Amino acid sequence: MSPIFGQDTLDFISHSETQTRRLGARLAKFLQPGDVLALMGELGSGKTRWVQGVCQGLDVSEPVNSPTFTLVNEYQGRLPVFHIDLYRIATSAEVLTFGLEDYLYGSGVALIEWADRAEAFLPDDYLTVALYHLEQTKRRIVLRSHSQRSISLLAEFKAAAFAQQHPS
């Protein structure tokens, strides 16, 4: 799991579901109220595993499952977590019907699966988490920042990843 560093991008290879969850949990240490993670990737690419890791890292104690039919699951941990799944959303108009804005600009962390279906409604500042199938359990995970807060978040995460790769 050696990361590739870019200016506003971090590119990882995860070799298992456990490793994908672990990466999400590590990022969670740096999350603050109002942070938005836009998860993108094909069906089965690991978006829910990533969310499970973030929730674990935020000390959510209840089981975390994708809210495909309810659209939003709310969890309480170190911060409130709003797990949003837009898989069943077909049009932009549908995005507006369930109050997405309330979750994006609230006091918690918004984790949005299938975020590409609502890109026009995302805030100016968010972190993209793109997951790609490579092999049966192997995934490429690309984190990309979009503005000042997500740049800081990514920098903190990079520093921690680099420290783990090269301990003093």
Quote the pLDDT of residue 39: 97
Quote the pLDDT of residue 18: 93
Rounded Cα distance, 76 and 113, in Å = 18
Quote the pLDDT of residue 166: 44
What single DSSP character describes residue 126? -
Quote the pLDDT of residue 105: 86
43 vs 35, 52, 152, 168, CA distance in Å? Answer: 24, 16, 29, 40
Quote the pLDDT of residue 110: 96
150 vs 102, 129, 146, CA distance in Å? Answer: 19, 11, 6
Quote the pLDDT of residue 4: 46
Which residues, 6 or more positions from 97, have their beta carbon under 8 angstroms from its beta carbon? none
| Beta strands 4-5; 139-145: pairing state | unpaired
Q: How do the pLDDT tens digits run along the chain, 168 residues long?
A: 444 445 688 898 999 999 999 999 999 999 999 999 999 999 989 999 999 999 999 999 999 988 877 899 999 999 999 999 999 888 877 888 888 888 898 889 999 999 998 888 999 999 999 999 998 889 999 999 988 889 889 989 888 876 665 455
Provide the CATH number for the domain formed by 4-162 in this structure. 3.40.50.300
Note the pTM of the prediction, 2 decimals: 0.89
